[in-house]
A and B are shown apart, each in its own frame.
Chain A
Amino acid sequence: MLKIENLTANAGGKQILKGISLTVNPGEVHAIMGPNGSGKSTLAQVIAGHPGYEVTGGTVTYEGQDLLALDAEVRAQQGIFLAFQYPVEIPGVSNAYFLRAAYNEIRKARGEEEVDPMEFLDLMAQKLKIVEMTEEMLQRSVNAGFSGGEKKRNEILQMAVLDPKLAILDETDSGLDIDALRIVAEGVNKLKRPDNATVVVTHYQRLLNYIVPDYVHVLAQGRIVRSGGKELALELEEKGYDWLLEPAGASA
């Protein structure tokens, strides 16, 4: 589904990703872990098409096509979804309007008919249950005045509506209390199918108690320094990241 080979990327002239290779197949859950500043969020945003990063080398192939040649909205229309670490507030635009606009763009891209507001509300009634949200949330402006937990649940609601093939969750656990974490994680698990894949970007092992990964990759200083099964996350929990980091200057 997704094949990243030797990907390098800059932000503001500084190299952040220094050669990432990663393959994700349908039905898999991958966790990308690593200390702050390791490049985890950059990787997530580069896959989703953030224009602020300059890809300087390597390839990303998604469903057989060159992903890097596509604009962010086209990537989304083709099934890539990024749950943001810091969801953006959009005052004055209701959640319902925003979700329906996005949903219809994606349906259009799939050659399906757009839905009207009434049909959409019926669909939403089911999706809201996945993240234990009420209809009242649909009438509020997108993320405006939402608590941290509400914002993250709203991200998973969007994911539920847009039904992506490849979902990337960027630090979705940050700032969540244990109840919100459970709701968010259960939402993600309910959306898991054999034909879609999930990449969970996280600093802590905590989320992985709820979303069990098939593979764990440790990102440090812009490179994947270790890959393994779910037991690697537990090892990191116990030992921290330091044992995996190169001594300063060793790569120079």
Chain B
Amino acid sequence: MTLSLWHFLAVGAAVFGVGLVGFLTRRNLITMFLCAELMLQGVAINLVAFARYHGNLQGQVFVMFILAVAACEAGVALALFLNLYRKRRSLDSSDWQELRELGVPAATDTEPLPKPVVEPDPVLTPAGARPEPTAEEVARV
């Protein structure tokens, strides 16, 4: 197989689609951010493949700017996440749904979360005869 431009474009589109699914469905702010970065990577693959196709460096220069903007985005997003986390002690984006559009009903979680599995304390099997309390020993701790 000789690789052609189409192969790279198709892979870029698929990576973008996976990132879009993650961005729409996940609720952890950090996972959402990483999925947005995944979409950026899909676009970057496209641009680099086009640069190769046309034999000039414009596409690669574009990717450099994507990198710069992604770095800015990461810094500001992290600062915002820290602030949000201090207010609600959670990274759940649905905690902030009072910011939603007018007229859209609030989403409520109906299913209960699974109980965390608590490891029971270890129990020793009793061995030997139960000691008889003696007179001089007043109380056992």
Bound pair: A and B? no
